[in-house]
A and B are shown apart, each in its own frame.
Chain A
């Protein structure tokens, strides 16, 4: 597609439920990133996928968070047993590997609210 697409745009869920957030990167972009933006905060790195390499999961805050990227394209971020502190905007971005000087292209994010 022309840009990075994320769905849903907004999600309200009850505490304890599982949620799945989807990211469809720009076609041909080999690198994909997930970031979390809490109210009034900067962007917190969660996970990074690059081609067929093992993902960098160093930013995932707990084992309730997981992500996968199927076929080197679409990615799903899953949060199990959601907690109120998980409420945030989850941003996805993609980039061309070895083109890092041009930064990322971001999606519009998913605003997750846990009630």
Chain B
């Protein structure tokens, strides 16, 4: 079974600073996907960024980037120039690749991020 661990229950950072959220996972497979989701107070989970395990290049989406270390099974999220709207719960998630039937996402327990004005 796959597991996802987020060791930082809460974090806070000043507006405009950079913050890094940690995530580690455990799997014996080589073909998988990793995701970061954001959950603001509205409760809707929003996909922030995704990474395909067979790609060595780290994914980037505007101010959001990841540091994917496959051998270490680490997948951290870096938010640059943080904004007040980034305040939310952030969940790291794992999904096995297409050679497996089930597309179930396995989530970590989340990190509550607060951006301080």
* A interface residues (Cβ-Cβ under 8 A, vs B): 31, 33, 35, 40-43, 45, 48, 50, 56, 89, 91, 93, 95, 97-98, 100-109, 111
Q: For residue A93, which residue of chain B has the nearest CB?
A: B45
> Within the assembled complex, what's the spacing in Å between the Cα atoms of A111 and B50?
27
- Residues from chain B with a CB closer than 8 A to the CB of A50 are 103
Contact (Cβ within 8 A) A103 B104 = no
> Within the assembled complex, what's the spacing in Å between the Cα atoms of A101 and B49?
11
- Do A56 and B104 form a contact, CB below 8 Å, given A91-B45, A100-B33? yes
Contact (Cβ within 8 A) B50 A103 = yes
Q: For residue A40, which residue of chain B has the nearest CB?
A: B109
* Chain B positions 38 through 75: 1 when the CB is less than 8 Å from some CB of chain A, otherwise 0: 00001111110010100000000000000000000000
- Do A45 and B104 form a contact, CB below 8 Å, given A98-B98, A101-B33, A106-B44? yes
Q: How far in angstroms is the closest Cβ of chain B from A7?
A: 13
* Chain B positions 17 through 34: 1 when the CB is less than 8 Å from some CB of chain A, otherwise 0: 000000000000000010
Among A42, A103, A106, chain B packs the most CB atoms within 10 A around the CB of A103
- 28 sample A-B contacts, Cβ–Cβ < 8 Å, listed by A number: A31-B103, A33-B104, A33-B105, A35-B107, A40-B109, A42-B109, A43-B91, A43-B105, A48-B103, A50-B103, A56-B102, A91-B45, A93-B45, A95-B103, A97-B103, A100-B97, A100-B103, A101-B50, A102-B47, A103-B35, A103-B47, A103-B50, A103-B93, A103-B95, A103-B105, A105-B47, A106-B37, A109-B44
> Within the assembled complex, what's the spacing in Å between the Cα atoms of A89 and B39?
12
Q: How far in angstroms is the closest Cβ of chain B from A52?
A: 14
- Residues from chain B with a CB closer than 8 A to the CB of A93 are 45
Q: For residue B91, which residue of chain A has the nearest CB?
A: A42
Q: How far in angstroms is the closest Cβ of chain A from B96?
A: 8
Given known contacts A43-B107, A108-B42, what 16 new A-B pairs fall within 8 Å (CB)?
A: A33-B104, A42-B4, A42-B91, A42-B108, A42-B110, A43-B45, A43-B91, A89-B43, A91-B45, A100-B97, A103-B35, A103-B50, A103-B105, A104-B45, A106-B37, A111-B43
